[in-house]
Every structure is written in C-alpha cells, then in structure tokens.
Chain A
Amino acid sequence: MNNRRADVRGHAEGDERFAAVDTHIRKTRHSQDQLIQTLHVAQDIFGHLSHDLMAHVATELRLPPSTVYSVATFYHLFRLDPPGEHQCTVCTGTACFVKGSESIVGKLSAEYGLAPGQTTDDGRLTLRTARCLGSCGLAPVTVLDGRIQAHQTPEGTLEQVGRMLDPHALLPEPADEIAPDDGRRAV
C-alpha cells in the first residue's frame, strides 16, 4: 500500500499528533520567536509537555533543548506532567483568600487526598491553585473544567466537584460549544 503519510513530517514513532504540531510550526515559518505559542499549541494537543515533545519542538525550531525547557518551566501555564481528566482550580489571590479560599482548598485536599498541583491516582481529578483570576469582585472563585464559579463555599465547591466527577451528574451540558480548553487557542 502506498503510504501517503510519508510526506507528513512527524515523529519517528509515528504519533500523528506530532504532525499537528508541525503544521503550526510550518505556518509560523519555524520562527524561533513563536516558541511560546508553539508550546501552547503542543500542550493543547498533547495535554502536557513531555520531554519528548519539547525535544521535538527544539529540533523543529532549531533551538537548544535547554532554551525550550527553560521557557516551559518559566511560565505557569505549561505543564510537564499529564493532567487529570477533570480540573479544579481554586483562586487564592488576595480577594479570594480573605474571603476563605484557603478553607476551600483545605476541604478539597482532605476529601481527595491531594495537595494543590497533584492529580488523583486514578487520574480523574487535578487540583490546582491560581494566584488571581482577575475576578476579584466574584470572590471566592473556582474554575471547574474551564468554567468560572463565583461566590464559592467549601461545601458548595465540594459538591460541585463531586458532580463533575460523577458520570451520571445532573449538571446540564454546557450549551457553549467553545470550552476554554478545546485547543482553539491557535490563531
């Protein structure tokens, strides 16, 4: 069989997702100043930045791997570990903090046995904290799978996280087709 895919550049192991990263790199003409945007695209496709992936980006942009690694570790939005299936981010910025975000984090940590930044062993939930989401008037704020939740309480958030994790959740499906993490970041 004639393998048409041979002309699509990609990864030696044949993972097609690398070709999608390459498409972005080609579109931006291998510009080194596009490194951050390229990493955004790569992370949107893969969910996190593995060493393999960073090495691939470095090769394609003709940058030293150390530069790619240093940029990936400098910015908070880049994840070097695979995230869980569902995400819960609690804002711990000042306004949220004084209005009790700490006890929300504490409640969730105790319930799921997680420190902020960790993922449950079954890979279902990642708990994170953010410094400030710029929604100080809605404090305390959490983000559940990309949707901002205002005026949170420890019990309320716990319940919402439970429903997020429960496959038979009664939560209505979001009508908005464009969820924040659907990979449309690329221009």
Chain B
Amino acid sequence: MATTLTPILSEFWDEPESWTLRTYESHGGYQALRTALARKPEEIVDLVKASGLRGRGGAGFPAGLKWSFLPAPDGGPRYLVVNADESEPGTCKDIPLLMASPQTLLEGMVIACYAIRAERAFVYLRGEVVHVYRRLLRALEEARGAGYVGRNILGSGFDLEIVMHAGAGAYICGEETALLDSLEGRRGQPRLKPPFPAVAGLYSRPTVVNNVESIASVPSIVHNGPDWFQDMGTERSTGFGLFSLSGHVKRPGQYEAPLGITLRELLDMAGGLRDGNELKFWTPGGSSTPLFTAEHLDVPLDFESVAAAGSMLGTRALQIFDHTTCVVRAVLRWMEFYQHESCGKCTPCREGTYWMTQVLRSLEAGEGSPEDLDKLLDVCDNVLGRSFCPLGDGATSCVTSSLQYFRDEYLSHLTHGGCPFDPMESTLFAGASA
C-alpha cells in the first residue's frame, strides 16, 4: 500500500500570506488552544503522552514523558524553551515551518506552557536566520494583540510571556544544555547531565526543551485527539513528520508524511534523481546519522526500523547523493564542519575531529596510505561514546558508515593518486558551461 502525504503542519503553506494570524485562524488556528484551556493541565500532558509523540529534534524522546518529568510546582518559575537552532547540514524543516506558519509554533507553545504550568517561554532561534527572527517577532505581536499570548489568555487566568532569542552562530547550541548556557549569555558549551533540564535547566529552574516541530505538532494532537495521531505512522513511531529532501533530486523540499514512509516512495514524489542518475548514498537524518545506500531504499523511515538498519532517524533530513559524488570528499566536508563547530570543551571531540580532518584531507588528495583507514576507525573509536555530548558521536558516524560501504573508494584514491571523481560532475551546473 502506497503511503500518501499528510499535509498537517504544511496544510496551507502555499497560500498567500500563510504566515499571518488571519490565515491561521481561517484554518482552525487557535481552536486547539480553546480546547486545551478548558481542560486541566495534567490532562493535556496525558493526552500528548497517549499520542506517542516523540521528539522531532533528532533523539526521538517521547514528548509527553519529558513534560511529566518536571517536579511539582513549588511557586518558582518554570520554563519552556523551544529549540529552533536548526544548523545540522541537510536539516531544513524548522526554518520553512517558521517562515510559512509561525502561529502553529506559538499556539503549540501556549498549550505546552499551560500543560507544564510555565509562565515564560523562550524560542532559541539560530542567529543566522534574521528573516525568520523578524517573522517570529511579527507573529508574536499579532498573537499578543489577539490575546493568545500575554496576561489572562482568553479569559482563562493563565499568563504567558514569550521571548524570542536569536543565537549568534554556533551549531553546538542545538544541544539542549549548551543552548541553555547560551540563553543565559555564556559560551554555548554542554553541561554535565544529570541534573537534567527538567530538574535544573534554565537559571537552574525546571525547564522543558523541545524542538520546533514537536511543539508545532501539539495543536493538531489536542484538536484531533491522540487516536487520530496514532493512526498515522507505525506502532512505536506514531504520527507524521516533515521529510526534507535535498541534494541530487529533481524536486527537493519538504514532504510531510507519516513516519514509516520509505525513501523509494519519497523519491517517487520528488521526481527521482536528476538526469536519471543512480542513487549512491544518502543520510536518513542529517549528517550526524550513519549513511545509507541504495540497498536501504525500502527501510521504513521510523525510529525503530532505521535504528535496526544501522542508522538513526534523526531530523529526517534526507540528503541524496548520486553516483557522481565522491564519498571521501563529502565525508571530508562534514568533518571540516564538525571540526569547526566542536566547542572545544572535551578532548576526544576537539582533537578527534581535528585529526580526522587532517587524515581525510590527505586521503582525498591521494597522499595517504591504507593504514590511514584503520587510523580513522581508531580515532572514531576514541571519540564515539567518549565525548561529552552527541556532537562528537555524530561526527564519527559518516566516517564509520562510509568506510563500511565504500572502503574500495577510499582505496581507489590512493591507487589513483588523487580523487577519481570530477567535482564538476556533481554540481548543479554540470554540463551547463560545456
């Protein structure tokens, strides 16, 4: 049975001025908030728990469970922080979502804050995306004007203040504790867990940190009920998600579909690879997830199946590379990114990414030796599981997986005395200037 697209978050993205409050309300916007405010906060937590919604930021932790970890209110402040620091190479779902329908996030935030009894919420937005920042500020202004944010929301007696915070350019701030440090005005470096943010997060107060898409999914769950959500996706990976296709596909972009869809199905919708080229490798969830190849075309893209096939669902950022791409070159590129973005706090990641970049650079230039491949794996072994936060772990996955599937290609760089690929062939303008 073919899976079909389920445009829920992206339902009206193509309408003119889809980002305005008026458009959002004409599509039933803020109905869910009214439903939620009529119920008890605990009921909302239970409802989200029952829906099985899992974090859409990569790790896939059940959202409702995370909310229920907060200690009982003690009269002090508690916070909701939305992680909008989307910087992973290939991941491009939150930014389009925020541009096209920022009110969905705001409604989700109000409901989530009501459920966890937080009266102050933050959006930590990536600093580079100034256009999104302006759109969010405008959306917040509109929502506040309509009484959806502020004091005594819709006469319920519930108060909520939302703060938009623009970061300053650091991939590491997508890690939740580094994000909290950055929000407090410091260098974004991860904190030791435990204590987890649920117990001692922002300003050492109970804090829930959720991804944009997780929070944006909440209104539809509240409105349609957990059973509706569970009907989509698979048993343990319920619901829908944005699948971001990029790279060598004919129609790159966002495809909103139930979890468990396969790349084969998505590629059909995206018009296949360009020029009928062959699929060589792809990432199921951004550059921090181990590579897949053409043999994984039919792996259902849900948390369990992708993990069973040796990778991670991550952020559903499907970067597609065709046979013109040199895998060593791609991996080198990723490693340069991780080296650049390593925050420097822990030695395995700071030094490991540096050395892997050096080794990969010499391999790509055809100057290495076959022992270098084992050296790479050895470095990976010393980074994976030994670094302070998942950045280091993520940096190793492209190396180990590419060596697993494409060891011969690494070696051919050595026998060939350099890269056997013409970098121009993988470009968008290949053949155009000929």
Tell me which residues across on chain A come within 8 A of B253, comparing CB atoms: 137
- Distance in angstroms between the alpha carbons of A135 and B93 in the assembled complex: 10
Tell me which residues across on chain B come within 8 A of A135, comparing CB atoms: 92, 95
Binds B, one of A75-83, A119-127, A161-169: A75-83
- Distance in angstroms between the alpha carbons of A168 and B164 in the assembled complex: 39
- Distance in angstroms between the alpha carbons of A92 and B332 in the assembled complex: 13
Q: Within A172-187, which residues are at the interface with B (CB < 8 Å)?
A: 178, 180-181, 184-185, 187
Q: Could you say which of B95, B187, B428 contacts A99, with CB atoms under 8 Å apart? A: B428
- Evaluate whether A137 and B128 lie within 8 angstroms (CB atoms) in the complex, with A40-B168, A99-B428 already known: no
Q: Could you say which of B91, B164, B184, B325 contacts A98, with CB atoms under 8 Å apart? A: B325
- Contact in complex: A74, B95 (CB < 8 Å): no
Binds B, one of A4-12, A19-27, A30-38: A30-38
- Distance in angstroms between the alpha carbons of A154 and B433 in the assembled complex: 10
Closest beta carbon of chain A to B167's beta carbon, Å: 7
- Evaluate whether A36 and B427 lie within 8 angstroms (CB atoms) in the complex, with A95-B90, A153-B432 already known: no
- Contact in complex: A136, B169 (CB < 8 Å): no
Tell me which residues across on chain A come within 8 A of B252, comparing CB atoms: 95, 136-137, 139
- Contact in complex: A137, B246 (CB < 8 Å): yes
- Distance in angstroms between the alpha carbons of A76 and B171 in the assembled complex: 10
Tell me which residues across on chain A come within 8 A of B137, comparing CB atoms: 187
- Contact in complex: A134, B427 (CB < 8 Å): no
Q: Say yes or no for B185: interface residue by CB 8 A criterion.
A: yes
Q: Could you say which of B165, B170, B187, B330 contacts A70, with CB atoms under 8 Å apart? A: B187
Closest beta carbon of chain A to B367's beta carbon, Å: 19
Closest beta carbon of chain B to A32's beta carbon, Å: 6
Per-residue interface assignment for chain B, residues 382 to 403, with 1 indicating a CB less than 8 Å from any chain A CB and 0 otherwise: 0000000000000000000000
- Evaluate whether A151 and B428 lie within 8 angstroms (CB atoms) in the complex, with A136-B246, A187-B164 already known: yes
Closest beta carbon of chain B to A43's beta carbon, Å: 9
Per-residue interface assignment for chain B, residues 334 to 351, with 1 indicating a CB less than 8 Å from any chain A CB and 0 otherwise: 100100110100000000
Interface size class of B (residues with CB under 8 A): 35 or more
Tell me which residues across on chain B come within 8 A of A99, comparing CB atoms: 426-429
Q: Could you say which of B90, B182, B185 contacts A94, with CB atoms under 8 Å apart? A: B90
Closest beta carbon of chain B to A142's beta carbon, Å: 13
- Distance in angstroms between the alpha carbons of A135 and B129 in the assembled complex: 10
- Contact in complex: A95, B246 (CB < 8 Å): yes
Q: From B254, which residue of chain A is reached at the shortest CB distance? A: A137
Q: From B126, which residue of chain A is reached at the shortest CB distance? A: A134
- Distance in angstroms between the alpha carbons of A146 and B340 in the assembled complex: 23
Q: Say yes or no for A58: interface residue by CB 8 A criterion.
A: no
Q: From A75, which residue of chain B is reached at the shortest CB distance? A: B168
Closest beta carbon of chain B to A180's beta carbon, Å: 4
Q: From B172, which residue of chain A is reached at the shortest CB distance? A: A74
Per-residue interface assignment for chain A, residues 78 to 116, with 1 indicating a CB less than 8 Å from any chain B CB and 0 otherwise: 100000000000001111011110110000000000000
Q: Within A123-163, which residues are at the interface with B (CB < 8 Å)?
A: 130-137, 139-140, 146, 151, 153-155
Identify the interface centre among A36, A135, A139: most chain B CB within 10 Å of its CB.
A36
Q: From B251, which residue of chain A is reached at the shortest CB distance? A: A137
- Distance in angstroms between the alpha carbons of A177 and B127 in the assembled complex: 21
Q: Could you say which of A40, A74, A95, A151 contacts B166, with CB atoms under 8 Å apart? A: A40
- Contact in complex: B87, A75 (CB < 8 Å): no
Tell me which residues across on chain A come within 8 A of B246, comparing CB atoms: 95, 136-137, 139
- Distance in angstroms between the alpha carbons of A100 and B337 in the assembled complex: 17
- Distance in angstroms between the alpha carbons of A27 and B287 in the assembled complex: 41
Closest beta carbon of chain B to A49's beta carbon, Å: 11
- Contact in complex: B128, A74 (CB < 8 Å): no
Tell me which residues across on chain A come within 8 A of B260, comparing CB atoms: none
Closest beta carbon of chain B to A88's beta carbon, Å: 15
- Distance in angstroms between the alpha carbons of A34 and B247 in the assembled complex: 38
Q: Say yes or no for A39: interface residue by CB 8 A criterion.
A: yes
Q: Say yes or no for B134: interface residue by CB 8 A criterion.
A: yes
Q: Say yes or no for B375: interface residue by CB 8 A criterion.
A: no
Q: Could you say which of A77, A131, A136, A140 contacts B168, with CB atoms under 8 Å apart? A: A77
Q: Say yes or no for B188: interface residue by CB 8 A criterion.
A: yes
Q: Could you say which of B165, B186, B429 contacts A71, with CB atoms under 8 Å apart? A: B186
Q: List 20 A-B contacts (CB under 8 A).
A: A39-B168, A40-B127, A40-B166, A75-B188, A77-B128, A93-B337, A94-B90, A95-B252, A98-B426, A100-B424, A102-B423, A103-B423, A130-B128, A134-B86, A134-B91, A134-B126, A135-B92, A136-B252, A139-B246, A185-B166
- Residues in A lying within 8 Å of B, measured CB to CB: 31-37, 39-40, 67, 70-71, 74-78, 92-95, 97-100, 102-103, 130-137, 139-140, 146, 151, 153-155, 178, 180-181, 184-185, 187
- Residues in B lying within 8 Å of A, measured CB to CB: 86-92, 95, 126-131, 133-134, 137, 164-171, 182-188, 244-248, 252-253, 287, 319, 321, 325, 330, 333-334, 337, 340-341, 343, 423-424, 426-430, 432-433
Not counting A34-B185, A95-B90, A153-B428, a sample of 10 additional A-B residue pairs whose C-beta atoms are within 8 angstroms of each other reads A32-B185, A33-B183, A35-B185, A71-B187, A77-B168, A95-B319, A98-B427, A99-B428, A99-B429, A131-B171
The 10 closest A-B CB pairs, nearest first, are A100-B427, A75-B168, A76-B169, A136-B246, A35-B185, A77-B169, A33-B185, A99-B428, A137-B252, A94-B89
